[in-house]
Amino acid sequence: MKFSNKLSFVILVTGMIVLLLLSSAIYVTSYNSIIKSQFQYTKSIANEISDDIDQLLYEKVKTTLTLANTPIIKKVLETSNFSYANLSEEKRKKSIKLLNKKWESIKDPNNNFILKFTDNKVSQFLKSQQASLKGEYGEIFLTDKFGALVSSTAKLSTFAHGHKYWWLGSYNNGRGAVFFDDRGYDDSVGGYVLGLVVPVRKGGEIIGILKCNLNILGSISKLISGAHDKLLGKFKLTRSGGMIVFEEGYEPLSTQVHDDIYNLLKNKNNEIFILNNSGEKCLVGFSELKLTQGQKGYGFGGTFESIDHEKGNTGESWYVLCYRQMDVVTAPINESIRSVLIIGTAIILILVLVSYLFGRMIAKPLAKLDEATERIGKGDFKYRINLKQKDEFGKLGDSFNTMARTLQRTTTSMELLQNEISDRKLAEKEREKSIKELQKALENVKTLSGLLPICARCKKIRDDKGYWNNLEVYLQSHSDILFSHGMCSQCSDELYGKQDWYIKMKKKKKQD
């Protein structure tokens, strides 16, 4: 792999690893921080919706108390109370019981006995209130201080009410209290009803009880559904027993909260927690409605289900639950991480490109150095690098050229030395050859060494076998000597000294 490619690859891999580690660290830190803040925010949202519903209930209480304190209401109650007050307690209870039995036996709402209570001045007044606040009220009816029916907007299931838990809750042993009757489904109304029961006072005395069955879910749905969006989350109104009073898209009291939530409600634990339901994670916040907690002067709930009630409250309070999806809560973190990854990746790519170009710039003089090294390695000491750079590579090139010149000089000296060594080796061989020849000659000379018997007169030599040989024959047989015959001047003079031609020849030689 080329240096530039390797450098780019290393920077890419290192950069991506660092980016991933940095992103993970940012995510963990941001996640812990945002979850902590979102816990509080979720709680505040639930509290806000809870306060809105409390305020709605307070407004209903004010409206109903205003209705209960109208002169026409008080006047008819005084009349009814007076008619029963003259009777003994036993006769009064018996009279009310007989009227209740008669009431229950009559099914026709247009019966004169029924109309006596459903079509009088007070009932007409109550019906006008229904019409003015269309859709908010179900039945409205009034009882005296003995629980006997005085007026109603429609035929009720019973005439006597003094024994019922909501009546007793509002009468409150003569002290009086606002009581919310969470009665569930009411067959007489055909839907979910929350009864609002208020005492009617004259001075410090309770003279009657007014009950309004409220279509409260219509108003509550506007508060909850109107607040619903992805950021705020989804809301549910539930009883502390786990049955859901209102959830958009579902019938009231047809669903239950998750078991984990139920356990928290059961233990009065209002802490926010993360719910994992079938892989879908949500932040869940709780807020209990103040008016349903049994505040002083207020009662809420019930103790049993009457004959026309279904799924009534059994002493439970109401909670607002706020569900916020984790992917929405963590969306800012994810967006931040996405931005970090995009910016980080862009920076890494820029660094990779720069490193690639820088690597190529570095690799170019390195390639020249590599080529020069290869040439020098092959013995081309005359090769030089031409790097016109004033940086480290330029200095390296100059050093390389200096090294090449030094190697060239050293190599030349070495060549001369090699030649001298070769000459010396050749002379040594010649010397060894001469020595061998001399040794061989010496060996031959040693053959002729010692005393030779020679004739004093004819100069013949006697060999080892006792034969006498001419000198030249003996030497030729015992050495490599070859003889050529000539005559010394003394012998010439002795032999030819008296000859004229010889005398003339010698004179001529002297003249030359």
Say which CATH number the domain at 322 has.
3.30.450.20
How far apart, in Å, are the Cα atoms of 164 and each of 114, 393, 510? 21, 103, 189
Residues 273 and 176 in one domain: no
pLDDT confidence of residue 315: 78
13 within some domain:
no
Residues 205 and 237 in one domain: no
Looking at every residue in the chain, the average pLDDT score rounds to 81
Look-up of token digits 């099914």: 107
| For range 93-108, the mean pLDDT | 95
- The continuous run of DSSP H or E covering 454 comes out as none
**Over 70: is that where the pLDDT of 469 sits?**
yes
31 within some domain:
yes
Most confidently modeled of 36-50, 216-230, 417-431?
Answer: 36-50
Helix axes 331-377, 392-447, angle to 10 degrees: 30
**Over 70: is that where the pLDDT of 309 sits?**
no
What is the full DSSP assignment across 139-152?
EEEEEETTSBEEEE
| For range 386-395, the mean pLDDT | 66
Other CB atoms within a 10 A radius of the CB of residue 246 amount to 23
Residues 125 and 208 in one domain: yes
Residues 80 and 137 in one domain: yes
Other CB atoms within a 10 A radius of the CB of residue 227 amount to 16
**Over 70: is that where the pLDDT of 308 sits?**
no
- Buried b or exposed e, range 360-385, using 16+ CB within 10 angstroms: beebebeebbeebeebbeeeebebeb
Look-up of token digits 């839907």: 191
Q: How confident is the model at residue 341 (pLDDT cuts 50, 70, 90)?
A: confident
Q: Which residues contact 28 (CB under 8 A, 6 or more apart)?
A: none
- The continuous run of DSSP H or E covering 194 comes out as strand 191-202
Q: How confident is the model at residue 148 (pLDDT cuts 50, 70, 90)?
A: very high
Alpha carbons within 13 angstroms on the beta-carbon side of residue 229 total: 3
- Please state, in angstroms and rounded to a whole number, the distance separating the CA atoms of residues 211 and 137: 10
Q: How confident is the model at residue 230 (pLDDT cuts 50, 70, 90)?
A: low
pLDDT digits (tens, 9 = 90+) for 400-451: 777 767 776 776 666 666 776 777 788 788 878 777 776 776 665 545 556 6
344 within some domain:
no
Look-up of token digits 């859709």: 135
Residues 197 and 73 in one domain: yes
Residues 191 and 276 in one domain: no
**Over 60: is that where the pLDDT of 188 sits?**
no
Q: By C-alpha distance, which of 122, 199, 204, 123 is closest to 167?
A: 199
3-state secondary structure of 19: helix
More confident residue, 107 or 464: 107
374 within some domain:
no
How many domains are there within the chain? 4
Domain boundary residue, one of 182, 215, 248: 215
Residues 117 and 27 in one domain: no
Lowest mean pLDDT among 66-70, 227-231, 421-425: 227-231
| For range 264-290, the mean pLDDT | 81
**Over 70: is that where the pLDDT of 316 sits?**
yes
- Please state, in angstroms and rounded to a whole number, the distance separating the CA atoms of residues 220 and 218: 6
DSSP letter, residue 295: -
Domain boundary residue, one of 164, 193, 215: 215
Residues 56 and 78 in one domain: no
| For range 90-100, the mean pLDDT | 94
| Helices and strands: H and E segment counts in the chain | 14, 14
How far apart, in Å, are the Cα atoms of 32 and each of 190, 276, 333, 337? 49, 18, 10, 14
**Over 80: is that where the pLDDT of 141 sits?**
yes
pLDDT digits (tens, 9 = 90+) for 193-213: 788 999 999 988 999 999 998
pLDDT digits (tens, 9 = 90+) for 279-305: 788 888 889 999 888 788 888 876 545
Question: What is the Rg, in whole angstroms, of the alpha carbon atoms belonging to the chain?
Answer: 67
Residues in the chain: 512
Lowest mean pLDDT among 248-262, 406-420, 490-504: 406-420
**Over 60: is that where the pLDDT of 99 sits?**
yes
305 within some domain:
no
Domain boundary residue, one of 215, 243, 266: 215
CB 224 within 8 A of CB 203: no
What share of the chain in percent tops pLDDT 90?
A: 25
DSSP letter, residue 381: T
Residues 78 and 169 in one domain: yes
More confident residue, 394 or 493: 493
What share of the chain in percent tops pLDDT 70?
A: 82
pLDDT confidence of residue 446: 46
pLDDT confidence of residue 306: 53
Backbone angles phi, psi at 83, to 5 degrees: -65, -30
CB 78 within 8 A of CB 242: no
pLDDT confidence of residue 112: 95
Token representation of residue 365: 């003089």
Q: Which residues contact 169 (CB under 8 A, 6 or more apart)?
A: 177, 179, 181, 197, 299
- Buried b or exposed e, range 328-351, using 16+ CB within 10 angstroms: bbbeebeeebeeeeeebeeebeeb
Residues 124 and 207 in one domain: yes
Residues 46 and 90 in one domain: no
Write out the residue range of the structural domain in which residue 482 sits: 461-511
Residues 108 and 188 in one domain: yes
More confident residue, 385 or 182: 182
How far apart, in Å, are the Cα atoms of 96 and each of 92, 93, 107, 174? 6, 5, 18, 20
119 within some domain:
yes
CB 200 within 8 A of CB 206: yes
352 within some domain:
no
3-state secondary structure of 206: strand
Q: How confident is the model at residue 348 (pLDDT cuts 50, 70, 90)?
A: confident
**Over 60: is that where the pLDDT of 186 sits?**
yes
180 within some domain:
yes
